[in-house]
Structure 1
Amino acid sequence: MAEEIEVISIGNLNLDLIGKLEKLPQSDEKTILDNLNRRSGGGAANFTVACTKLGLKSKLIGCAGKDSFGEEILRGLEERGVETSSIRKVDSLTGLAFIFSTSENHRLLIEHRGANSNLKISDLKEKYLREAKLLHASSVTPEMAKQIGIKSEKFDLKTSLDLGAELTKLGSKELSKILNRFDIGFMNQETFETIFETIPNEKNILDKFPEGLETLVITLEAKGAIATNGKETILSPTYKVEVKDTTGAGDAFAAAFSKLIIDGANLKKALKYAAAEAAIKVQYIGAREGLPTQEELKNFVEKHE
């Protein structure tokens, strides 16, 4: 039932092929994979699965191909409790991501959007949107992000945006117009540097803060993350864990942060739990393996305090 849904995520669902290399190859260099893992992924899908594991009733809006990969991904989402009735099946290859990393965590990511390119504004059915507590968009086009912001304002919904490659290509002025329609913005350090042409330290983050946002969160890989409300900045704690795979860590981080905000937590607590969620996830291979329940996340935080 639509009225039961608490979180709606909009964006990609992929099949991930995850491999380990001794080193990333140069041009025309042959490199042997130490191992290859096949997992379901895609930023919006990963976010939805993580939210569901944390106890939020979640729906995914996206597109899957009418192929065996699409069937595999949809089956996996349903088994994990995600509401999939808004995933449209299209005559296109399901999205693919090739993810290669080294023992030093150097990483190469190649994506084929495939069926994800078929996502349309018309897929944002208002009957699905109006009852949600949060709309989350991940790696969507600028026009899709704009329309999500417009619809969220219409129904007075809380919204979050995880920036992808297409939005990153916009200039800071155009991107700020889009971000101003959202409540929470997520980006990584590289994205911040690309958009604002400066490093994400406390002064620069406050200087570049989009006025319409409530919260901007920047992940800093092994250094944790920074969150700001435009007046103050908070640095997340870092947790010492064995890193096996960072695929989906940002999606898990965003899901836990959103869960805590929905529950009424302050910025400091939300950031702490989000960092813990990511720390748990990176100990497993694949974007959705090892995701904690709400109780498991709480226990992890308490154990490390």
Structure 2
Amino acid sequence: MKTFDVVAVGSGTVDLIFRVPRLPGNDDKVIGKKVAELIGGTVANSACVMGKLGLRVTSLSTAGDDYYAQAIIDDFHRNGVDTRFILRKPGVAANMAIIFLDDSGEKALVYAPNDETETCMVQAPQAIDCSRLVYMMPGQLDKFRTLARYAREKNTKVVIDVESHIKNSQQNIKEMLSLSDVAIFNKEGFRTSLQQEPDAEVLRSLVEEHDLDALVVTCGGEGVIACDRKGVATHPGYNVSVIDTTGAGDTFNGAFIYCYLNNRELNDALSFASAAAAINISHVGARGKLSTVDDVNKFKEQYQ
């Protein structure tokens, strides 16, 4: 039996959150108010979601030795994420994100990564060896290729998150998919990478072509569409009062992976993951309200 259910490849981030009356445009200025300084990070958020849901999760990442680094590690611990594979490197600055929230709860985000590689490749084989699944963004193709191929050798499943900012995703998407078991896109990431709309026939074709266990496309307020080996499923999402959409996709992804590892049917997985995301966007911050399984089930009961 492997020690961990998931190794999540990606460092934590410090999120500076500002409330503004509207999102600023080019050569524009708005007067806002600082709401919070919180811990985030795309894959790191999903790791915390999975930890809160009860999966055995470890982080494969890099952190510095300052106050922010310790805050990132402490938040992992609070959410049940193991940190033995986090490489502490003196002088490394934390990844930073500035998040602007308008009155509707929609966001604009500026991300400032540090110059360090986020993954300690020396520790990666050990982390993958002892995990059932590796979860990552395939932003650095060489690194992704190395980790995914090694995972295949060790019978470790590979789940990727593909967003629109990933460099050269259009040129490399077929290789990314061929090295993955599950691919999760947001709608813009799907359009950018595949130059197609995420409809049922397109998803079926991709699942078959790349022998995927599942392919999922989140579409914001329009819900989610997904396909596995059994067929296509959709979910419209839940109608809730939106406070902050930061981390909605990360929450969905973490909850979907929980369902995937527990062999839940696709329809049920989409409903569960959508509920977890709906709960979180009713609070401030990417980890504003990370739910337990009981929290999600109680929320879903309100809509039955």
User: How far off is 1:302 after superposition?
Assistant: 2.4
Per the normalisation by structure 1, the TM-score is 0.92
Deviates more, 1:189-198 or 1:222-231: 222-231
User: How far off is 1:116 after superposition?
Assistant: 5.3
- Answer whether contact 2:50 2:254 (CA < 8 A) is retained: yes
Task: Identify unmatched segments of 5+ residues in structure 1.
Answer: none
- The code of the aligned residue for 2:196 comes to T
Number of the residue aligned with 2:188: 190
Number of the residue aligned with 1:289: 288
* Alignment: residue pair count: 302
Counterpart Cα distance in 1 of 2:167 and 2:300: 32
Number of the residue aligned with 1:112: 112
- Answer whether contact 1:48 1:82 (CA < 8 A) is retained: yes
Aligned-residue Cα RMSD (Å) equals: 2.0
- The code of the aligned residue for 2:85 comes to S
Number of the residue aligned with 1:203: 201
Number of the residue aligned with 1:221: 220
User: How far off is 1:168 after superposition?
Assistant: 5.0
**SS where residue 96 of structure 1 aligns?**
strand
Number of the residue aligned with 2:31: 32
**SS where residue 291 of structure 2 aligns?**
coil
Number of the residue aligned with 2:234: 235
User: How far off is 1:153 after superposition?
Assistant: 0.7
User: How far off is 1:193 after superposition?
Assistant: 1.0
- Answer whether contact 1:12 1:116 (CA < 8 A) is retained: no
- Answer whether contact 2:107 2:246 (CA < 8 A) is retained: no
> Percent identity of the aligned residues?
25
**SS where residue 122 of structure 2 aligns?**
helix
Number of the residue aligned with 2:68: 69
**SS where residue 117 of structure 1 aligns?**
coil
Counterpart Cα distance in 2 of 1:39 and 1:111: 14
Counterpart Cα distance in 1 of 2:167 and 2:210: 18
User: How far off is 1:71 after superposition?
Assistant: 1.4
- The code of the aligned residue for 1:182 comes to S
Superposed CA offset, 1:191-211 (max 9, x none): 111112222222333345452
Counterpart Cα distance in 2 of 1:33 and 1:139: 34
Number of the residue aligned with 2:152: 153
Counterpart Cα distance in 2 of 1:115 and 1:164: 20
User: How far off is 1:56 after superposition?
Assistant: 0.9
Task: Identify unmatched segments of 5+ residues in structure 2.
Answer: none
**SS where residue 177 of structure 1 aligns?**
helix
Counterpart Cα distance in 2 of 1:246 and 1:138: 20
Counterpart Cα distance in 1 of 2:116 and 2:297: 34
- The code of the aligned residue for 2:193 comes to I
User: How far off is 1:188 after superposition?
Assistant: 0.4
Counterpart Cα distance in 1 of 2:231 and 2:211: 16
- The code of the aligned residue for 1:44 comes to V
**Residues 30-109 of structure 1: pairs in structure 2 closer than 5 A:** 30-90=29-89, 91-109=91-109
**SS where residue 234 of structure 1 aligns?**
strand
User: How far off is 1:171 after superposition?
Assistant: 2.3
**SS where residue 169 of structure 2 aligns?**
coil
**SS where residue 31 of structure 2 aligns?**
coil
User: How far off is 1:106 after superposition?
Assistant: 4.2
User: How far off is 1:76 after superposition?
Assistant: 1.8
Counterpart Cα distance in 2 of 1:142 and 1:165: 15
- The code of the aligned residue for 1:272 comes to S
- The code of the aligned residue for 1:260 comes to C
Number of the residue aligned with 1:129: 128
Deviates more, 1:290-299 or 1:2-11: 2-11
**SS where residue 14 of structure 2 aligns?**
strand
User: How far off is 1:162 after superposition?
Assistant: 0.8
Counterpart Cα distance in 2 of 1:167 and 1:30: 28
